């Protein structure tokens, strides 16, 4: 049964209270230490459709910053420095920039920081549910555009290195947007290697028959609180099946779920460090 927003918040609060009750030390660690323990997650994407000229091509994904909810601009600045040190060829952001865009006091700080991110073959993003929430849709779009990011909203960009190309597609947010995978894939010419950005990971089961090879998602936060044996205590709607890491959806499609950077609802992470993902492309020979 799909969680409603109210039941999700209720269960998250209960899990948080359980964490607080573990011990004073456990609470301090989950509140003040682990949320700052950024992890680098590395993957290699091997596929016969990846052109040889893209061997070693580097993509960095970050997701779910939730700026304004226990994640500030100084932390965001440090994240940007870390990503730039990777010297990526391409950067993708998979949604939820600000936790509450309808109350956040936007100025030029976020666009100026986003502008500092460097990737010679482009910077792309998709909407998350928080980006659409609270009438923030156009505001967040303007901020990302000012930061040099191109929106993929049921649309496709061809990533071209001057010799070959692959397609990068993006869907509108599943929960609060109007995603249309059929209309999106119709924009792809030929049969190239295709990466799809979708905020919510659980829709991967619906993507496997659309010629997609890799889906990159966020949204889950990895549950934020995980316990031995039990795993993630609570995850949001559309992130209840695929919570983190790599998942083989079909012979053709592989899903990668990023645990995100910030937190929401409760400011804790326990056994669920924040992360950014690094993908290396390689041709299958």
| Residues 158 and 164: beta-carbon distance below 8 Å | no
Q: Is the dihedral of CA 269, 95, 231, 17 positive or negative?
A: positive
Q: How many CB atoms lie within 10 A of CB 173?
A: 25
pLDDT (0 to 100) of residue 108: 96
Q: Is the dihedral of CA 52, 149, 181, 246 positive or negative?
A: positive
Query: How is 167-191 classified by DSSP, letter by letter?
Result: EEEEPPPTTTS---HHHHHTT--SS
Distances (CA, A) of 122 to 14, 17, 48, 88, 147: 42, 43, 23, 10, 12
pLDDT (0 to 100) of residue 6: 52
User: DSSP assignment, residue 34?
Assistant: G
* pTM score, whole prediction: 0.92
pLDDT (0 to 100) of residue 16: 53
pLDDT (0 to 100) of residue 55: 97
Exposed/middle/buried for residue 228 (C-beta within 10 Å: 0-12, 13-18, 19+): exposed
Q: Side-chain half-sphere of 251: how many Cα atoms within 13 Å?
A: 0
Q: Which two tokens stand for residue 272?
A: 């669920």
d(C-alpha 28, C-alpha 23), whole Å: 9
Q: Is the dihedral of CA 202, 205, 209, 214 positive or negative?
A: positive
Distances (CA, A) of 78 to 73, 116, 261, 267, 268: 9, 11, 12, 19, 20
Q: Give per-10-residue mean pLDDT for the chain (285 aa).
A: 52 53 74 96 97 98 97 98 98 98 94 98 98 90 98 98 97 97 96 98 96 98 90 91 98 98 94 97 88
pLDDT (0 to 100) of residue 27: 83
Helix (H) / strand (E) element for 260: namely: none
pLDDT (0 to 100) of residue 1: 39
């Amino acid at each position: 049964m799909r969680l409603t927003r109210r039941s999700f918040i209720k269960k998250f609060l209960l899990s948080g209270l359980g964490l607080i009750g573990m011990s004073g030390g456990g609470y301090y660690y989950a509140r003040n230490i682990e949320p700052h323990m950024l992890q680098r997650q590395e993957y290699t994407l091997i596929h016969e459709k990846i052109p040889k000229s893209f061997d070693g091509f580097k993509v960095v994904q970050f997701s779910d910053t939730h700026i304004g909810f226990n994640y500030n601009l100084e932390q965001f600045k440090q994240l940007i420095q870390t990503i730039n040190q990777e010297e990526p060829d391409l950067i993708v952001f998979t949604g939820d920039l600000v936790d509450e865009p309808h109350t956040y006091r936007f100025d030029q700080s976020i666009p100026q920081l986003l502008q500092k991110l460097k990737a010679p073959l482009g910077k792309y993003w998709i909407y998350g549910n928080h980006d659409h929430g609270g009438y923030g849709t156009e505001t967040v779009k303007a901020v990302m555009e000012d930061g040099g990011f191109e929106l993929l909203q049921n649309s496709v960009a061809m990533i071209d290195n001057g010799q070959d190309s692959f397609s990068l597609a993006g869907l509108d947010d599943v929960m609060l947007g109007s995603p249309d995978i059929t209309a999106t894939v119709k924009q792809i010419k030929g049969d190239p290697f295709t990466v799809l950005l979708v905020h919510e990971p659980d829709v991967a089961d619906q993507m496997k028959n659309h010629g997609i090879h890799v889906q990159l998602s966020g949204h889950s936060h990895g549950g934020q609180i995980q316990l031995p044996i039990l795993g993630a205590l609570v995850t949001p709607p559309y992130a209840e099946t695929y919570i983190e890491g790599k998942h083989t959806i079909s012979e053709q499609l592989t899903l990668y779920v990023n645990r995100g950077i910030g937190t929401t609802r409760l400011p804790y992470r326990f056994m669920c460090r924040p992360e950014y993902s690094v993908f290396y492309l390689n041709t299958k020979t």
